[in-house]
Structures are given as structure tokens and as C-alpha cells.
């Protein structure tokens, strides 16, 4: 089936892709489910601005009225921000139903990768990826993000996996599925709010040009999956490792006590961690997204130089 008949690519994005100019995809779950209004809209627009300042075209991705959108207007971003959690958090399993019902959906890492690939966009900046949840050996709670990384050829620039997850098992899962995990300027997996995790990534690379070259070769070889670039949060915005882990442990205990599970888990945990850290985690979240947008834009530009 040709999914492109359901796809609307913004004219600016379509022109940039056609001309071989750098484009960076952005997800929309961070707008609807990641933070409160109006901070969510302000952050989304600022991320787009940062990408433009680094000579790339931003393409925020969502599902609106059953249309797969690659590139949103300011009004559409504002709409998603105001609707907030009333908009479905759309993963791969939700895509066909939302399109058929002409409904709205905020795209996760998974669906952003899918729609970006349909639109010819190769680089995607996000906050953190999903992964294997703690206790997954009994719950089987594993993010669809990991499967998508194994099958969709998009480079994802993130600040590592959220430390609410089982980071060791997340790396094992990615290895099994053939997804290279690259540390930008580090050999240690960053853990979203903090620069440290105690776990080692597969490779360290120190320039956008190195990242672009690796992805270019992957595409030339016809390898089917993506690549994961883990970009540590800047030192000045990083949170104390012990403080954040204590907050996460407490949040997980509360989630278990309240029977929170499935797609409700991550939003609950992030909101609880924000509450327990006095809002510091939200500030860190915003700054790491800005940092990832800069690196993604520079990498997209370097990739375009390779033809």
C-alpha cells in the first residue's frame, strides 16, 4: 500500500528535500504530552528556530484530521499545544486507525521516524527515546521506538534513553536488533537528565561530519535500520545523578502502587519526576532538546554535502 497518499509535506520541506538541502524532523508528542501549555508551544517554536539558525529546515510531524503531516504551521503547533493530552499519543499501532477515523495524533519517536522516512527526511531530533522498562522481564513493556530503529533508516539524535528505563536492557535490545548506538563526544550512554549512566555505547564520534559519514555509508550499503546518536545534555543544565535517580525510584514506586502501565507510564513518571525535582527536570528537558536540535541540523547539513 502506498502510504504517501495520506501524506502532506509542507511546501518548504518538500522543496528542501527535492533540492537536497538539510531537513530535520521533530516529533509532536513533546508538544501535546511532554510539557504544559504555553511552554510546550514556546519550546516547539524555539526548536524550529534553532534548526533554522543552523541552516536546516525544521519539519515538525503530526497527524491532523487523519493526514500525516511533515511540517506544521505555527497555528497547527499552537493547536496541538492547547489540545494537550486530549490528542492521542500515536505509535505504530495507532497510525492506521487514526488515519481511517480522520483523527488527530501526536507522533512518538516511532511514528515520527515512519512519517519522516515517507517524506524523504533522514535526520530526526528528539529529547530521549523510549526503551525497555524496568521490570520488563515480567511486564514485557518495551517501547516500539526500539523496533522502529531496527527497521526504519532514519538517524535519531537524542539525549540517550530516559533514566526511568532499564538502560542496560535497552542497549542489549538495540544490539540484538543491529542498531548502532553512537555517543557524541562520549563513550558513556547519557541518561537524559544526566550525562552519566555507567553504561558504554558502541562508538564515540566527535563531529557532525563523522555522524553524517557513518549514516551515509549505512544507506549506501542498503542497511535497513536507523542509527541512534546519544548527545549528552550540556554540563550546565545536567541534573545531579543521585538526586534524579532518587526521584525516579520514588516515581516508579508510586506508578506501581497506582497500577499505572502501558502508554500511560512514561507521562506519569515524567510528571512525577518534575514534581519531585521542583520543576528542575522540565528545564533540563527543554535545554537538552535545544542541544539535540543544533547537532541534528549540523549533521543534516554535513549529510547533504555527501550527496
Provide the 3-class DSSP secondary structure of residue 281: helix
Query: What's the CA gap between 174 and 171, in Å, rounded?
Result: 5
CB of 181 closer than 8 Å to CB of 200: no
CA distances from residue 168 to 97, 136, 186 in whole angstroms, order as listed: 34, 12, 17
Query: Residue 190 gets which letter from DSSP?
Result: P
* Element (DSSP H or E) covering residue 105: strand 105-107
Query: What's the CA gap between 233 and 230, in Å, rounded?
Result: 9
Among residues 295, 126, 119, 159, the alpha carbon closest in space to that of 239 is found at 159
Is the bond preceding residue 230 a cis peptide, omega within 30 degrees?
no
Which of 69, 162, 274, 298 is flagged as catalytic?
A: 162
For the record, the C-alpha cell of 15 comes out as 522543496
**Is 188 assigned a catalytic role?**
no
**Alpha-carbon dihedral 187, 192, 196, 198, rounded to 10 degrees:** -80
* Element (DSSP H or E) covering residue 58: strand 57-64
Q: E strands within 148-265?
A: 155-158, 181-184, 203-205, 227-230
**Is 224 assigned a catalytic role?**
no
For the record, the C-alpha cell of 302 comes out as 554535513
- The residues carrying an active-site annotation are 27, 162
Amino acid at each position: 500500500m502506498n502510504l504517501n497518499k495520506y501524506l502532506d509535506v509542507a511546501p518548504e520541506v518538500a522543496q528542501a528535500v527535492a533540492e537536497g538541502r538539510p531537513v530535520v524532523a521533530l516529533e509532536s508528542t513533546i508538544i501535546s504530552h511532554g510539557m504544559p501549555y504555553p511552554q510546550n508551544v514556546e519550546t516547539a517554536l524555539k526548536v524550529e528556530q534553532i534548526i533554522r539558525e543552523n541552516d536546516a529546515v525544521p519539519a515538525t510531524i503530526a497527524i491532523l484530521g487523519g493526514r500525516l503531516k511533515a511540517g506544521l504551521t505555527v497555528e497547527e503547533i499552537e493547536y496541538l499545544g492547547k489540545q494537550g493530552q486530549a490528542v492521542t499519543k500515536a505509535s505504530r499501532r495507532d497510525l492506521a486507525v487514526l488515519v481511517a477515523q480522520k483523527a488527530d495524533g501526536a507522533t512518538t519517536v516511532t511514528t515520527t521516524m515512519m512519517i519522516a522516512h515517507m517524506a524523504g527526511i533522514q535526520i530526526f531530533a528528539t529529547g530521549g527515546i523510549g526503551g525497555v522498562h524496568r521490570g520488563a522481564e515480567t511486564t514485557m513493556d518495551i517501547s516500539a521506538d526500539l523496533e522502529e530503529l531496527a527497521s526504519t533508516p532514519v538517524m535519531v539524535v537524542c539525549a540517550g534513553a530516559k533514566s526511568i528505563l532499564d538502560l542496560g536492557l535497552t542497549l542489549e535490545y538495540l544490539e540484538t536488533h543491529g542498531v548502532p548506538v553512537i555517543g557524541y563526544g562520549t563513550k558513556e550512554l547519557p541518561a537524559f537528565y544526566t550525562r552519566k549512566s555507567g553504561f558504554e555505547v558502541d562508538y564515540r564520534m566527535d563531529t557532525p561530519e563523522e555522524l553524517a559519514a557513518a549514516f551515509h555509508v549505512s544507506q549506501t550499503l542498503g542497511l535497513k535500520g536507523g542509527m541512534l546518536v546519544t548527545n549528552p545534555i550540556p554540563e550546565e543544565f545536567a541534573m545531579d545523578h543521585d538526586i534524579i535517580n532518587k526521584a525516579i525510584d520514588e516515581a516508579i514506586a508510586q506508578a506501581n502502587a497506582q497500577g499505572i502501565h502501558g502508554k500511560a507510564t512514561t507521562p506519569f513518571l515524567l510528571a512525577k519526576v518534575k514534581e519531585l525535582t521542583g520543576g528542575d527536570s522540565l528545564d533540563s528537558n527543554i535545554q537538552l532538546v535545544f542541544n539535540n536540535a543544533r547537532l541534528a541540523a549540523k549533521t543534516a547539513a554535513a549529510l547533504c554535502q555527501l550527496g
